[in-house]
Structure 1
Amino acid sequence: MSLKAMEETAGDHETPLLNSTYVSGVQPVESPTKRTGSLWTAVAHIITGVIGSGVLSLAWCVAQLGWIAGPVSMLLFAFVTLLSTFLLCDSYRSPDPECGPGRNRSYLEAVHINLGSRSAWVCALVVYISLYGIGIAYTITSAISMRAINKSNCYHREGHDAACAYGDNSFMLVFGAIQIVTSQIPDFHNIEWLSVVAAVMSFCYSFIGLGLGLAKTIGDGKIKGSIEGISTSTVAEKVWLISQALGDIAFAYPYSLISIEIQDTLKSPPPESETMKKASTLAITVTTLFYLFCGGFGYAAFGDDTPGNLLTGFGFYEPYWLVDFANACVVAHLVGGYQIYTQPLFGMVDRWSAQKFPNSGFVNNDYVFKLPLLPAFRVNLFRLCFRTAYVGTTTGIAMIFPYFNQVLGVIGAMNFWPLAIYFPVEMYFVQRKIGVWTRMWLLLQIFSFVCLVVTVFAFVGSVEGLITAKLS
């Protein structure tokens, strides 16, 4: 059946959580999932998706940009993220009255319905590369935090000048093993509890980082740093560091990849878009305050010596148990954050394989296992094999490129314009039937172009930093 014929026969039925199944022309199957999400579960999902490894680099970003440009950049990225989310919220329902109040249950489905299959294919490529990259970044960050716990304990026992050296690879393997287990959670609708736990963890380590930076600033009796930021030996070096800082901030904010999936968990009435906009406003306001405080107090505490990762750069040695707890919270948060960003991809693969091989027991059969003292759980062999291989490859690449700030910059820049700006703007044009050369069309096109320039600048600088770090 052709895509056009599928759309014509859809009637008032809801469209499925698409991704590449719909793009490839496979007829979707109706989902029976009951939506029970609320304003607060949406806030938890957003905070889990937004406050992640990126917050730990923000003090370093402020150090590169200085006291004025650093906070202003964070505020601008917050505004851009919120505007982008509002545009996406209005793309959740089908724009075609003949299709009824159809839902676009994923980012890719919204792109396909609004912009067509060609745009959906391009978007799919960017989305899945981005989701994969986020898994790599979270693996790197979790390993750094686990290593920091060991180093903190070592410094406490043997003194701050001790040679407490630990590698990252073993910690990445531990995180990968944890993700292999948690990746067997069936789908996005079954991880609300994990999002809530991860959101609580993000608050914990954000408060701790903020508190440690504030305490050190007060203890030193002065605010370090300058308006122009860290000085460098050459102008070119300064430019590259600024571009990496912008890439890191870009990584810290947007959650467009999971925005529509989160909206699809919400019950109605009230309209899902109304709840999602309120949740986004609340979540972005809270996270921006955290970002400003963490980045600002981190820079105020360390000045030119601000570490790339606030909790693992060992500007803080004591109280060592608090540093350990904060890094443990980071790891716990990233366990949930990894799933928030990979479950949409896992869901796409599950749906595609089930429709491509409907008679395969390997793909479609679930097996129930019951261990003593534990509840029964279901295992799907295809899901087990694919998700294990996926986690294994993200872990392997993280072991090859374990460079925190540079990797965050590359992924942040790569995601920012196409997913947080271009596609939401274009879908908004279709939803609102905005004509070419109208005032709104011009304003949004200028907005998109400026964001594109920033994205290219951040991406080039971050790639240069990654290459330099690998060769050094």
Structure 2
Amino acid sequence: MDAKNSLQITRTGTGDYDDDGRAKRTGTLRGAVAHIITAVIGSGVLSLAWSTSQLGWIGGPVSLLCCAIVTYISSFLLSDCYRNPDSVTGKRNYSYTDAVRVNLGQKRTWLAAFLQFLTLYGTSTAYVITTATSISAILKSNCYHKEGHEAPCNYGGNLYMVLFGLVQIVMSFIPDLHSMAWVSIVAALMSFTYSFIGLGLGIATVVENGRIQGGLTGVPAANYSDKFWLIFQALSDITFSYPYAVLLLEIQDTLESPPPENQTMKKASMVAIFITTFFYLCCGCFGYAAFGNATPGNLLTGFGFYEPYWLVDLANVCIIVHLVGGYQFQTDATLVFIQKSQLQ
């Protein structure tokens, strides 16, 4: 074998192995888009109507668009950090912290890893609580339908949190679950379904009301300090709705090559962020238009909508399925990152 062919095999891998000697990556553009949507679109999309109500008709949409632009720029830059120093044949950085280590040094890596795990911890906790809330919402919806909207339908969530944990323990024994595209595709379809339901119910309510509610400056507060606090809460909800940057390189590490991984990841990020931003704007704006200053914290679990109860139930089931897949994807990606770091 001549030197030229030997160099080509070293760069592209051979047979069932990539150039780093690990199993051949088979991820595609479609799978990457599904992974991103699974990581980005969570049930938090249903709280964006409340965020819009606090910021008003100007501040709400502008804040969403600004977060989308910042997320795209950061993902565009971060995707070029997957290989160093060359973006096509350089050494792979399997995770966000690997990229920090190569570009910023070991000391800053510890800080980046701490912040990444802190973010994942917060997101995972939110998944557990939201899943329990959605299960309780299904029970409440059926109770309100039978007993009336004023009935004392109260259900705790501790049992459902434990059940969610048991499901995750069982799923964690499935090997390479994080790299199975169908898991993210199912989760992404679930997120689209409950987003469409929330959007459709919002549009129907606007049509039923015959007018668009809400004001340019949002919900009035008793004083300036309360208003500032609500504005910061709304902004935190919006920024939390774009959380996938810390998992970007883990997603990129599943992509096949050629074409170069950074090119596929940039396309996937553009498509996914465009789709999610469209849904965010629609759900946030139509939810605010439907309820105005009375917009609930979550359109489907805060009971902005009581009927049709079966549709509310379906939306909450979709939330649960999506969060089960999203939680597993995030935790599995983290464990794989730890394993890869130990192998270096």
TM-score normalised to the size of structure 1?
0.67
Q: Relative to structure 1, is the Cα distance of residues 117 and 303 closer, same or farther in structure 2, using a 3 angstrom cutoff?
A: same
Deviations 1:379-400 (A, max 9, x none): xxxxxxxxxxxxxxxxxxxxxx
Whole-Å separation in 2 of the counterparts to 1:107 and 1:142 = 28
Q: Which residue among 45, 64, 68 is the counterpart of 1:74?
A: 64
Mapping for residues 258-297 of structure 1, pairs under 5 Å:
258-297=247-286
Greater than 6 Å deviation, 4+ residue runs: none
- Are residues 1:137 and 2:126 paired? yes
Give the conservation status (yes or no) of the 8 Å contact 1:56–1:309: yes
Matched residue pairs, number?
328
Whole-Å separation in 1 of the counterparts to 2:300 and 2:57 = 21
Whole-Å separation in 2 of the counterparts to 1:137 and 1:116 = 32
Partner of 2:310: 321
Whole-Å separation in 2 of the counterparts to 1:96 and 1:270 = 14
Q: Relative to structure 1, is the Cα distance of residues 276 and 193 closer, same or farther in structure 2, using a 3 angstrom cutoff?
A: same
What displacement does 1:141 show? 0.9
Give the conservation status (yes or no) of the 8 Å contact 2:50–2:295: yes
Q: Which has the higher contact order (CA 8 A, sep 6+)?
A: 2
Deviations 1:266-311 (A, max 9, x none): 1122111111111111111111010000000101111111111111
Partner of 2:179: 190
Mapping for residues 39-438 of structure 1, pairs under 5 Å:
39-95=29-85, 101-187=90-176, 189-350=178-339
- Are residues 1:35 and 2:25 paired? yes
Deviations 1:116-155 (A, max 9, x none): 1111111111111111111101111111111100000000
What displacement does 1:91 show? 0.6
Partner of 2:15: none
Give the conservation status (yes or no) of the 8 Å contact 1:37–1:265: yes
Whole-Å separation in 2 of the counterparts to 1:201 and 1:285 = 18
What displacement does 1:350 show? 4.3
Whole-Å separation in 1 of the counterparts to 2:106 and 2:86 = 16
Give the conservation status (yes or no) of the 8 Å contact 1:298–1:310: yes
Gaps of 5+ in 2: 1-9, 13-19
Deviations 1:209-232 (A, max 9, x none): 000000011011111110010011
SS in 2 for 1:219: helix
Please provide the CA RMSD for this pair.
2.0
TM-score normalised to the size of structure 2?
0.91
What displacement does 1:352 show? 6.5
Give the conservation status (yes or no) of the 8 Å contact 1:185–1:191: no
Whole-Å separation in 1 of the counterparts to 2:211 and 2:313 = 26
Deviations 1:70-120 (A, max 9, x none): 0010000000000000010111111279x9521111111111112111111
Whole-Å separation in 2 of the counterparts to 1:278 and 1:100 = 19
Partner of 1:8: none
Whole-Å separation in 2 of the counterparts to 1:267 and 1:344 = 17
Q: Relative to structure 1, is the Cα distance of residues 270 and 349 closer, same or farther in structure 2, using a 3 angstrom cutoff?
A: closer
Give the conservation status (yes or no) of the 8 Å contact 1:95–1:114: no
Percent identical among aligned pairs is: 58
Give the conservation status (yes or no) of the 8 Å contact 1:132–1:342: no
